[in-house]
Amino acid sequence: MNNMAKTLLAAAVSVGALSATVEAASAATYTYVGSWNVTDGPLWSGAPPNGPLAYTGQEAAALVFGGLASDYVISTVDNLVSNINFSAWYDQIGVGGSIFAQNYDYKYLGQYYGPTVGYTTPYASAFVDDNLNGANAINYAFTVTSVPLPAALPLLVVALGGLGLTARSRKNV
C-alpha cells in the first residue's frame, strides 16, 4: 500500500470515529418520570357544549408532570426505556380507546375533546374520562435529554486539524 493510500485509509478511519462521536454527542437519552391513566382526565360530559380540552399524549404529560410537550416521549408498553414505542392511549368520542402516535392531534375546533351532543367524528384525547370506563389505558412518560451538538464541535476542529497536519507532513516526506 503506498503512502497516499495509507493516508486516505487513516483519514477514513478518523472520520468514521469522529462521526460516531458526533452521533453519540447528539443522541437523546430518556428518563422515566411517571404514568397516568387516560381516564384520570376530566369527564367528557362535564364541560358542555364543547367538552373538555383535548390533549395529545405529549401535551397530557406536560399537563400532568409540568414543562413542555416537546420535553416528553410517551409509551403504552411500560416504564422501561428499552420499550418506548412513541405511542399513547387515547379515548375517542363515540369509539373508545385507541393507540395512536404520541403527538396525534384530532380535536374539535382545534382544542376540545368534542361536543357533548351531536358529535359525528371521533375526536381524541390522551387525558379524558369517556368511553374507556376505567379501562387500564396507561401512558408512560419519559423526559428527553439531548447532549447538545456544539459540545462535540471542539473535538471536530481538533480532529480535522490533526488530519490536515498528517496529510501535510506526509506530503513533505
Q: Would you say 60 and 69 are in contact if contact means Cβ atoms under 8 Å apart? A: no
Lowest mean pLDDT among 5-14, 59-68, 86-95, 118-127: 5-14
Contacts of 98 (CB under 8 A, 6+ apart): 89, 90, 92, 124
Cα 159 from Cα 42, distance rounded (Å):
55
CA distance 51 to 21: 49
Asked whether the predicted pLDDT for residue 163 surpasses 80, the reply is: no
**Residue in 31, 12, 41 with CA at minimum distance from that of residue 141:** 31
Mean pLDDT, all residues of the chain: 81
- Give pLDDT, residue 116: 85
Report which residue type is found at 162.
G
Position 57 scores a pLDDT of 98
Q: How confident is the model at residue 7 (pLDDT cuts 50, 70, 90)?
A: very low
Q: Give the C-alpha separation, 58 to 132, whole Å.
A: 19
Structure confidence at residue 40 as a pLDDT band (50, 70, 90): very high
Measured over the CA atoms of residue 83, residue 88, residue 89 and residue 94, the dihedral's sign is negative
Q: How confident is the model at residue 15 (pLDDT cuts 50, 70, 90)?
A: very low
pLDDT band at 98 (very low <50, low <70, confident <90, very high): very high
Enumerate helices (H) and strands (E) in the chain, giving the number of each: 3, 6
Using 50, 70 and 90 to split pLDDT, how confident is the model at 14? Answer: very low
